[in-house]
């Protein structure tokens, strides 16, 4: 997220990015702030350049700023892929340990009884760590993309889900296990805006370069500017654009309901458009918010906590924020179904039987005769 370099009006972009970042409660502007300001400036220059001669200064500035934005996005997507690649190319022992904890973290929430609603996963990250963890765990993610070779994002909410009927029971379909709904609120490194549609390309995890996967028949002219990694905006402008308005509608509809519980892990409450939805959810008395983080350097979590003390649980600190510690000591172990849990209880009771001699078996004091 380090700042990018712009050759066209770079000083103006940096100053405006810092100003809006301070207004949002952050110390200085980051890459997302710069891209947002650069896009706004580009649109203004394009309007000014209308009707100008080909060699006019305004037209040259438009072309220069377009190239700067493309280079910045290309560098940013390369850094995302580099992070994925470092994860995939780590030593065998470290890689296996990391994947194990990632899977256990996901399955602590995804493993639920067939009578309960699906787990809803929302992320603002552009990388694909959640996706690769779900693949390893055998967890099927349902999102708005439909298709096999080049899935296309659909505006309508296609809640295609999978159910089954337990043996011996009629008329009571239950949710199939190992399925979760998944939404990437700020887009993804493998989403491409092309031909008036948002498509997900087959970009391998940790690729060294995404350009070869864009140079395919039917996608001529697509470059890094078409990657759907949408920058943060202080005025919520990204939530008014396609496809982000649909993604945030899913987010609001999923959590702003009675008895909803939202667990935030690693979120610093720096996005006002997300905070607003969380605040709306907390206006419902039966909802609850759990925040797990290393710290609150800007005090934004505490501001929300003070307004909804009874509905928020804070787990803040180096100990609680550590993923390994969280999985080992605090998160519940995955439990697939009540039947499995009941069988485990029965086996536990049977294994506690003590043999005091021929014909005199006894059980623990708390044996209920099951």
Tens digits of residue pLDDT in 296-333? 877 888 988 999 989 999 999 988 889 999 999 988 87
Residues of the chain with pLDDT > 90, as a percent, come to 26
Token readout for 300 is 């934004």
Does residue 243 contact residue 155 with C-beta atoms inside 8 Å?
A: yes
For 263, counting Cβ atoms within 10 Å of its Cβ (0-12 exposed, 13-18 middle, 19+ buried), the class is middle
Q: What does the alpha-carbon distance between residue 51 and residue 293 come to, in Å, rounded to a whole number?
A: 52
Provide the pLDDT for residue 157. 63
Selection from 229, 247, 250 nearest residue 239 by Cα: 247
**Which region among 42-46, 50-54, 76-80, 221-225 has the lowest average model confidence (pLDDT)?**
221-225
Distance CA 365, CA 256 (A): 46
Residue 313 DSSP label = E
- Long-range contacts of 166-173, Cβ-Cβ distance < 8 Å, separation of 24 or more: 166/114
pLDDT for 236 equals 43
Given a cut of 90, is residue 89 above it in pLDDT?
A: no
Query: Mean pLDDT over all residues of the chain?
Result: 82
Whether 181 contacts 222, CB under 8 Å = no
Contact 119, 110 (CB under 8 A): yes
| Nearest-angstrom CA–CA distance, 259 and 266 | 23
**Rounded to whole angstroms, how far apart are CA atoms 291 and 329?**
17
Q: How confident is the model at residue 344 (pLDDT cuts 50, 70, 90)?
A: low
Model confidence at 353, pLDDT cuts 50, 70, 90, reads low
pLDDT tens digits, residue range 133-177? Answer: 999 888 899 888 888 888 888 877 666 777 777 777 676 777 888
pLDDT band at 366 (very low <50, low <70, confident <90, very high): very low
The pLDDT value recorded for residue 351 is 65
Q: Once rounded to an integer, what is the mean pLDDT over residues 208-231?
A: 77
Q: Pick left, alpha or beta for residue 324 (phi over 0 → left; psi -120 to 50 → alpha; otherwise beta).
A: alpha
Across the chain, the runs of DSSP E, i.e. the strands, are: 119-123, 140-142, 145-146, 152-153, 163-164, 174-175, 179-184, 187-194, 197-200, 227-229, 261-265, 288-293, 312-316, 354-355, 361-362
Q: 183-219: per-residue pLDDT in tens?
A: 999 889 888 887 778 888 888 888 888 888 888 777 7
What local confidence, expressed as pLDDT, does residue 337 receive? 52
Q: Does 343 score more than 90 pLDDT?
A: no
When mean pLDDT is compared across 52-56, 57-61, 95-99, 156-160, the lowest value belongs to: 156-160
* Both structure tokens of 202: 């087959």
pLDDT tens for 95-144 read: 889 989 999 999 999 887 777 788 999 999 999 999 999 998 888 998 88
Strand pairing class (227-229; 152-153): unpaired
Please give the average per-residue pLDDT across 9-28, as a whole number.
83
The encoded tokens of residue 239 equal 């939530």
Q: What is the pLDDT of residues 66-86, one digit of tens each?
A: 899 888 888 888 888 999 999
288 vs 304 pLDDT, higher one: 288
């Amino acid at each position: 997220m380090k700042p990018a370099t712009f050759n066209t009006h770079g000083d103006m972009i940096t100053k405006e990015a810092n100003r809006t970042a301070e207004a949002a409660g952050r110390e200085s502007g980051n890459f997302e702030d710069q891209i947002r300001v650069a896009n706004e400036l580009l649109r203004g220059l394009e309007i000014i350049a209308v009707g100008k001669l080909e060699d006019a200064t305004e037209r040259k500035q438009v072309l220069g700023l377009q190239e700067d934005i493309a280079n910045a996005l290309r560098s940013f997507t390369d850094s995302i892929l580099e992070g994925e690649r470092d994860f995939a190319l780590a030593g065998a022992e470290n890689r296996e340990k990391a994947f194990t904890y990632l899977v256990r973290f996901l399955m602590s929430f995804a493993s639920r009884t067939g009578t309960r609603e699906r787990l809803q996963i929302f992320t603002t990250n552009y990388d694909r760590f959640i996706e690769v963890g779900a693949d390893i765990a055998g967890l099927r993610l349902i999102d708005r993309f439909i298709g096999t070779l080049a899935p296309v994002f659909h505006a309508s909410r296609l809640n295609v889900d999978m159910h089954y009927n337990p043996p011996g029971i009629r008329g009571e379909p239950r949710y199939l296990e190992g399925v979760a709904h998944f939404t990437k609120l700020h887009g993804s490194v493998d989403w491409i805006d092309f031909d008036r549609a948002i498509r997900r390309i087959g970009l391998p995890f940790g690729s060294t370069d995404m350009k070869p996967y864009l140079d395919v028949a039917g996608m001529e002219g697509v470059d890094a500017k078409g990657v759907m990694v949408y920058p943060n905006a202080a005025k919520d402008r990204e939530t008014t654009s396609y496809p982000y308005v649909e993604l945030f509608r899913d987010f609001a509809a999923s959590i702003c309901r009675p008895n909803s519980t939202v667990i935030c892990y690693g979120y610093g409450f720096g996005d006002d458009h997300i905070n607003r939805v969380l605040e709306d959810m907390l206006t419902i008395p039966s909802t609850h918010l759990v925040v797990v983080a290393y710290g609150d350097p800007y005090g934004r979590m505490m501001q929300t906590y003070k307004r909804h003390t009874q509905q928020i649980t804070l787990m803040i600190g180096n100990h609680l924020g550590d993923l390994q510690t969280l999985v080992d000591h605090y998160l519940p172990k995955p439990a697939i179904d009540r039947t499995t849990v009941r069988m485990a209880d029965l086996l536990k009771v049977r294994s506690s039987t003590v043999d005091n001699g021929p014909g005199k078996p006894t059980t623990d004091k708390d044996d209920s005769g099951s």
